[in-house]
Amino acid sequence: MKKPFVAGNWKMNTDSHSSVALVKEIVSGCSNIAGHNVDVALFPPFVYLQAASKALSSSDISLGAQDIFYEQKGAFTGEISPAMLKDIGCSYCLCGHSERRHVIGEDDELVNNKVVAAINGGLLPILCVGELLEQRETSQTQEVISRQINAGLAGLNDQMISAVTIAYEPVWAIGTGHTATPQQAQEVHAMIRELVGRIYEKELAQQIRIQYGGSAKPANAAQLMAQPDIDGLLVGGASLKAEDFLAIICAAA
């Protein structure tokens, strides 16, 4: 059985004081979770990563960045490379979060470049995919997800795919309070696993962890996690309150 994986995406929230305080509350809460049968990662804003890294140093919670650039160094004003993130203690990075796709305008090719660069730079990418509400309502979910998965994983060999986590995050569920039902989420997760199985060995498709994201909270975490193809949760809003995030981690563990 795969170890569940719960990640907290803080987006553009917290400040220098509250980010460290939140890390400390989560570290202390996690130490009380029996069995520790869960991987946990936190994704604070870039500017608080180093302080968060220090606060996480004696825990087994991992650190991740919300985005990366696809080059390792050079004249790319304002960008942050995989090497820099590794240097300050990051293990993970998000690639293609829906806010980057739909607010900033990242396309599939850029997202793929980031996934490849993350792996080559020694980071573990979480490839985020998800359909818009109008795409779901016009029966385009399968087409959109297939395109994002095929493009996002382009050029990855068997060894590289083992570094990847996929997050299915229906855009209509992110930050809206409208969580996908466990059945809706399971249906797409099973489809993603099948898609991965068409590109790679079936065993690799079985092993890859697929998180659900989109208004996950303590009240729905256990039901979502009970689905056979949901291996973890990518949590936005509810990860900003230690009590809620810890309850989600407990539900997943």
Question: Which residues does the annotation mark as catalytic?
Answer: 97, 169
Residue whose CB is less far from ligand PEP, 23 or 224: 224
Q: Is position 216 an interface residue for ligand PEP (rule: CB under 6 A)?
A: yes
Residue whose CB is less far from ligand PEP, 167 or 205: 167
Asked whether 182 and 170 are in contact (CB, 8 A), the reply is no
Measure CA 162 to chain center. 15
**Which range, of 46-54, 137-145, 187-195, 233-241, touches ligand PEP by CB under 6 A?**
233-241
Residue whose CB is less far from ligand PEP, 20 or 238: 238
Q: Give the HSE-up count for residue 75: Cα atoms under 13 Å, Cβ half-sphere.
A: 0
Rounded Cα–Cα distance for residues 155 and 157 (Å): 6
Q: Is position 39 an interface residue for ligand PEP (rule: CB under 6 A)?
A: no
Whole-number minimum distance, CB 11 to ligand PEP, in Å? 6
The single residue among 8, 82, 236, 253 that binds ligand PEP, judged by CB under 6 A, is 236
Asked whether 88 and 53 are in contact (CB, 8 A), the reply is yes
**Which range, of 30-38, 77-85, 140-148, 212-220, touches ligand PEP by CB under 6 A?**
212-220
Residue 118 one-letter amino acid: A
The single residue among 40, 118, 185, 234 that binds ligand PEP, judged by CB under 6 A, is 234
Rounded Cα–Cα distance for residues 168 and 233 (Å): 9
Whole-number minimum distance, CB 71 to ligand PEP, in Å? 25
Residue whose CB is less far from ligand PEP, 205 or 224: 224
What would the DSSP string read from start to end of 36-101? G-SEEEEE--GGGHHHHHHHTTTSS-EEEES---SSSSSS-TT---HHHHHHTT--EEEES-HHII
Q: Is position 235 an interface residue for ligand PEP (rule: CB under 6 A)?
A: yes
Residues that bind ligand PEP (CB under 6 A): 9, 11, 169, 174-175, 213-216, 234-238
